[in-house]
Each structure stands twice: as structure tokens, then as C-alpha cells.
Chain A
Amino acid sequence: MIQFSNVSKFYDEQIVLKDISFNVEKGDLVYLTGPSGAGKTTLLKLIYRAEHPDDGQILVAGWDVAKLRQKTIPFLRRNVGIVFQDFRLLPNKTAFDNIAIALRIQGLDSRLINERVNDALNDVGLKHKSHALSQHLSGGEQQRVVIGRAMVSKPTVLLADEPTGNLDSETADIVIKLFKEINARGTTVLIATHNRELFMTSGRRVIFLRDSAIEKDMIP
């Protein structure tokens, strides 16, 4: 589902990712970890083409990401749900509208949008906050809205960048449980985190990044 082959990325001559190669199979849930500045966020950005690789090939759900034309990029992103570290919720919009926007950009019918957004709100346990403005929600609730938005379009791949970074352990557990549920429905999930507790006892595959390269790729 996600395939990196000898991928490198530089920022102004400074190397960020060097000769990265790995595969994530369809339906896997994989953790990506490493110290700050190891290149986790950049690696995720390469997957949804917010960054362009300087070398190598990236295949995501059959798309050759590096070769995508500008006008095709939106269609790749519709197949990749993203849980951003800084949430990126639309201000002055309700939880419902924030989730619905992912479907509105695809031009879906209002009835179908209502149905799927309400399902997503149910899944993330925020049905009762449907009409609350995003800025009036707590950090954990905002994170769950972001997850709802990422999953509502039923993407083939879900990426999460430090999804528990700003959450207390109880809320973090709820969020991780949500990712596992999404994964159980067949979505490939890649979670970037520096929180060792999340993956050490998970029994899932973990890719360790250090100094811009893959240090280890293992199941702890």
C-alpha cells in the first residue's frame, strides 16, 4: 500500500531523509518513531505530496507520488486521511462542518454527507458536540474531530502525525483505540510518534528513524 524505494529528501543542501526504503502492506498498522528532527513528519508529508522527494520512488495506493501532476495531487489526498499534529480544523465552523468538508470537496450529495458525518461523529463519540464550534472543543475533542474528518471519506491510507502529543494518557488511549478500530475495517494506518508507550506493548511493527535514515524496522 505504501512503498518507499531509496527515497531521499534535502532542505537547502541539508539532508532530512537519506535512502529510505520500506513497505507497508494493505491493512497494516505501523508506528514510525524517532527523536525530534529524525524526519518523521517529512516522511509523512512525502506520502501525501506536501513535499516532493529529491530522489527515489514513492508508491501510495498505486499512485507514483513523485510523478503526480499538480492537478492530480488532490485526488491522491482524497485517498489519504491525515491526522495533523496541529489539528488544522477550520475556525468558526462546527464539528459537523469540519468533518463534512472532506466530503463536500468531493461533491457528494447532502443526504449522503449527513449520513456519513453523523456516523463519523458517532464513531469518535462526539455526536453530542455536532454543532459545537471547533474552537469551543477541548484538545481531545478537537483531535477526535480531526480523526473523524480523516476517516469520513473512507481513505485507503490513514496517516497520523503525533496524534497523542497534546493529550493526557486517558484521551490518548481513546484516540489510539480509534485508530485500531479504523485499521480493523481494513484501512492501512501509519502513526508517527515519539511516545514509546504507544508502540512498545502494541505488538505492531515499528520503524525507527535516526539521523535521517531507518535505524530499525521491527516488532518490539
Chain B
Amino acid sequence: MRVFLYSCQIALKNIVSEKWINFLTILSISVGLLLLTSYLTITLNIDTVIKRWGTGFGMVVYLDDGLSLETKETIKELLKQDSDILELKYVSSDEALKELREVLGNRSSILESMEANPLPSSFELKLKREALDPIYIEQKAARIKEMTGIEDVQYGEKWLSSLNTISVVMQAIALILGVAIFIAIAFITYSTIKVLFYRRKEEIETLKLLGATRSFIKMPFLIEGFLIGGVSGIISALSLFALYRFTVLKFVQFLPSIRGLLVSLPVEAYIAIPFAGALMSLTGSFFATGRIRY
């Protein structure tokens, strides 16, 4: 514990005495973290919009002709048991025809030539947002289709797939960007700590000859890296918040209807930014101090 406190003291002194190189390092890491967190905020907003579009995603279950009332009730009860279904509405073939007439308007006369109503009765289902996974929905549709009395099941496969693709691509970019920035930050800290380590090479040699352990020699550099990353993270989190507020303000000026739609990263994420920065820098410092040999 005493060695740790002493190392903290040395690390703080080193940060102050090498203020310019440390300042530039902090600035670089802050920009890197700001880029990453800004992208995450954009991704979060796009994801929110996608989920908003997905609210009330529908599926239409067409029934066979001539089903008895009991069979229809049985199907309804079975569908109701599915926890992914938010709402369920029965549409008779007559109602479907009526709706079609309304849609066609003046051109509804084309329906007059038909001898019988060709439209089947159906159940219109509204699904939960959480269930909007293309594969999951496809499997669900297939299961419903296998039920007795079901003629067909239709839903917006392409639309759902496109939304999902956008979401997956955004997440993949976030992951790649995250890894790239992690490496960049670790490398920036690695370079800085390596330079500082070499500047104190003579001192380190003396400490080794006096009986200092590897951890005693390395600890101030690790703490220095941790603090540099942490401070960069705090600056980045504050900048992100300021940038978010500024963007919201500007957007609302031009598009007042967007008020309340833009979302920020959760508080937990803001708190995590300094820790993420500290962890990335600590990794760089760890490799910079290398393996000390006696």
C-alpha cells in the first residue's frame, strides 16, 4: 500500500514535470474517445428510430375458406397464448372486401365483375419490438402456418430484413471503430510512456541496483498511463455531453418536430468513458514498460 501511494505521488509528479508530452497525449486520447462515443450516440439514435418504425410491426394470418366458428376461436386462443403478440384482430372476408373497396375508391367497379368474394378472412397480428428479428419472425410465421386452418402467413420480410441489416452494419462499424480506437489509444500511451521510460533509464538502472522490484519500477508508469487515460475519458465525456446538447439545440431550431426524439447515451455510459480510457491507456503503459531484466 505504501509503495502504491509512493508510486501515485511519483506518477503525479511525472505528469506535471512532463506536462507537454502528457498534455498532447491526453488531447489525442480525448479526441479518439470522443469520436468513438459520438459514433455510439449516432448508432443509438439510428437504432431508436429503427425501433420506433418497428412499433406495431404486423403479420397477417390468412385462414382457409369455410372454417367453422369454433375452429376460428381455437386459432384465436392459440395465437393469444403467444407472448410476442401485442394485439390480435379478426378480419372477416366481408370486412376485407369492404376495406379493399375503400382503398380502390372510384375504381372499385372492377370488383363488380366478381361472382363471389375472393378474399379470405384473416387475423391481423401486431408484434412486440423485441421480437423483430428476421430469423425469429420467419420461424414464428412457419410455426403459425403449420397450424390447422391456416392458408398463408404474410409479413414484411424485406422491410424487416433491411432494418435488421442497417442495425447489424451500424453495430459492426461500432465494434470495428471500438477496436481501432482501443488500439490507437493503447499505442498513443505506449509511445508516450516508452519515451518517458527511456528518459528515466539511468534512474531506473539505479533503482534496480538498489533492490527495487519490477513492480516498484513499473507502477508509477502504469499509474501515469491510467491517470492519462482517465483524465482523457473525463474530458471526452464532458465534450460529448456538450456536443450532444449543442446538436439537439441546433436540430430543434431547424426541425422543431424532432424535439424529444434525439437520445443521449445513458448516464452509465458517460461514467464508463473515463474507465474505458483508463483501461485502454493502462494496456499501452503495460506493454511500454516491458519486461525488466536485472
Contacts and interface: CB of A to CB of B under 8 A. Distances in A.
Interface string A108-121: 11100000000000
Nearest to A109: B2
A70 interface: yes
B68 to A, nearest CB: 84
6 contacts: A70-B294, A78-B210, A101-B210, A102-B210, A104-B3, A105-B3
Contact of A106 (B202, B205, B211, B214): B211
Interface string A78-104: 100010100011110000000001101
Contact of A77 (B6, B205, B211, B214): B211
A84 B202 CA distance: 13
A84 B216 CA distance: 22
A78 B211 CA distance: 5
Given A90-B203, A91-B203, A110-B2, A105 B210 contact: yes
A11 interface: no
Nearest to B216: A105
Interface in B196-231: 202-203, 205-214, 216
B211 A105 contact: yes
A59 B210 CA distance: 19
Interface string A33-55: 00000000000000011100000
Contact of A74 (B3, B203, B211, B293): B211
A40 B202 CA distance: 22
A75 B207 CA distance: 12
A107 interface: yes
A74 B212 CA distance: 6
Nearest to A89: B206
Nearest to B210: A102
Contacts of A74: 208, 211-213, 294
A48 B206 contact: no
Interface residues of B, number: 18
B213 A48 contact: no
Q: How large is the interface on A (under 10, 10 to 19, 20 to 34, 35 or more residues)?
A: 20 to 34
B6 A104 contact: yes
A71 B214 contact: yes
A49 B203 CA distance: 18
A73 B294 contact: yes
Contacts of A153: 211
Interface of A: 48-50, 70-71, 73-78, 82, 84, 88-91, 101-102, 104-110, 149, 153
B209 A88 contact: yes
Most buried by B among A90, A110, A153: A90
A99 B2 CA distance: 17
Contact of A88 (B6, B206, B213, B214): B206
Contacts of B206: 88-90
A70 B216 contact: no
B210 A77 contact: yes
Contact of A48 (B209, B216, B293): B209
Given A82-B210, A88-B206, A104-B3, 20 more contacts: A70-B294, A71-B213, A74-B213, A74-B294, A75-B211, A77-B211, A78-B210, A88-B205, A88-B209, A90-B206, A91-B203, A101-B210, A104-B2, A104-B6, A105-B210, A105-B211, A106-B211, A107-B3, A108-B2, A149-B210
Contacts of B203: 90-91
A50 B209 contact: yes
